[in-house]
């Protein structure tokens, strides 16, 4: 998919990852429509990049429909918005669970449902979904977040199969630990020595490559984490034992404490 000249909607543009993605797509010549909840961040970013700004809360009923109606015809969707949703299941209210499901999973599905037919009719387009390595490897204390990211991976894989040969590409990007932005950085979590990280710019580069090359899945993590996520798919019990010994539950608990106000 050619990014230059294409109209691209980026959700979750006010977060650190969203900002990096928006800047990379702008550098590629995209006509950007940026959305997020924090108007104080959204409007300056849109002004910087010559983009349209649409303030939207994807967790509110009817907001997906309003967003797509105001955005108009789109060539590329980057579904990046997500809530951290970390913590033990019993620490959530049902309202918080519903909100995480709405923002992290329902909204991307609803946008794809609305946009794909027109893209297929034009014979061009791209749907990109921001998942996580938490969409490949489950961890105690992340049941809701894991559920949304596993679900998003399955949806993207199936949509890619359904749209094969139509001219519409589908990709999913899987960041691991990201420094300077994202849920781990924002929660102020200190990672164990030796745990590698990647930058927001690395994630943005992966997004651009996935769109331009129509790559189905792109991991953004050191080789050790990528191997670990692959092991989780092949031998989940062994993977769970390894992650327990590595202290992953303490990391997740720290993220949950730092991100509780964002549920």
Strand order in the sheet with 217-220: 52-55, 31-36, 7-10, 76-79, 125-130, 168-175, 217-220
- Its domain, for residue 60, covers 7-262
Contact 255, 177 (CB under 8 A): no
Q: Is residue 246 part of a domain?
A: yes
Say how many domains are in the chain: 1
Residues serving a catalytic function are 145
- Cβ neighbours of 1 (radius 10 Å): 19
Distances (CA, A) of 94 to 3, 140, 201, 255: 40, 19, 35, 20
Residue 254: per-residue pLDDT = 64
Provide the terminal-to-terminal Cα distance of the chain, rounded to the nearest Å.
35
Per-residue pLDDT tens digits for 144-195: 999 999 999 999 999 999 999 999 999 999 999 898 776 656 666 666 556 6
Confirm whether 234 is domain-assigned.
Answer: yes
| In-domain check, residue 31 | yes
Report the percent of the chain where pLDDT is more than 90: 72
CATH number at residue 153: 3.40.50.720
79 in a domain, yes or no?
A: yes
- Other Cβ atoms less than 10 A from the Cβ of 20: the count is 22
For the range 231-238, what are the long-range contacts, defined as Cβ-Cβ under 8 Å and sequence gap of 24 or more? 232/136, 232/137, 232/138, 233/136, 233/137, 236/138
Residue-wise pLDDT tens digits, 38-75: 999 999 999 999 999 999 999 999 999 999 999 999 99
Q: Is residue 131 part of a domain?
A: yes
Give residue 238's pLDDT band: very low, low, confident or very high (50, 70, 90): confident
pTM of the model: 0.88
Residue 2 belongs to a domain? no
């Amino acid at each position: 998919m050619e990014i230059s000249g294409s109209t691209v909607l980026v959700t979750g543009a006010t977060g650190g990852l969203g900002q990096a993605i928006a800047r990379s797509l702008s550098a590629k010549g995209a006509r950007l429509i940026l959305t997020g909840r924090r108007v104080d961040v959204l409007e300056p970013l849109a002004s910087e990049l010559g983009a349209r700004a649409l303030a939207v809360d994807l967790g509110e009923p009817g907001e997906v429909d309003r967003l797509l109606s105001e955005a108009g015809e789109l060539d590329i969707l980057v579904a990046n918005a997500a809530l951290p949703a970390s913590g033990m299941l019993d620490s959530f209210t049902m309202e918080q669970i519903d909100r995480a499901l709405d923002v992290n999973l329902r909204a991307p599905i609803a946008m794809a449902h609305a946009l794909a037919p027109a893209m297929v009719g034009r014979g061009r387009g791209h749907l990109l979904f921001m998942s996580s390595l938490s969409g490949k490897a489950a961890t105690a204390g992340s049941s809701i977040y894991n559920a949304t990211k596993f679900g998003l991976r399955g949806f993207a894989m199936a949509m890619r199969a359904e749209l094969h040969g139509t001219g519409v590409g589908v990709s999913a990007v899987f960041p691991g630990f990201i420094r300077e932005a994202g849920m781990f950085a924002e929660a102020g979590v200190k990672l164990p020595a030796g745990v590698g990280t990647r930058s927001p710019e690395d994630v943005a580069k992966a997004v651009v490559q996935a769109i331009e090359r129509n790559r189905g899945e792109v991991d953004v993590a050191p080789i050790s984490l990528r191997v670990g996520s692959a092991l989780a798919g092949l031998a989940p019990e062994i993977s769970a034992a390894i992650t327990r010994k590595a202290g992953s539950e303490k990391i997740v608990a720290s993220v949950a404490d730092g991100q509780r106000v964002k549920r």
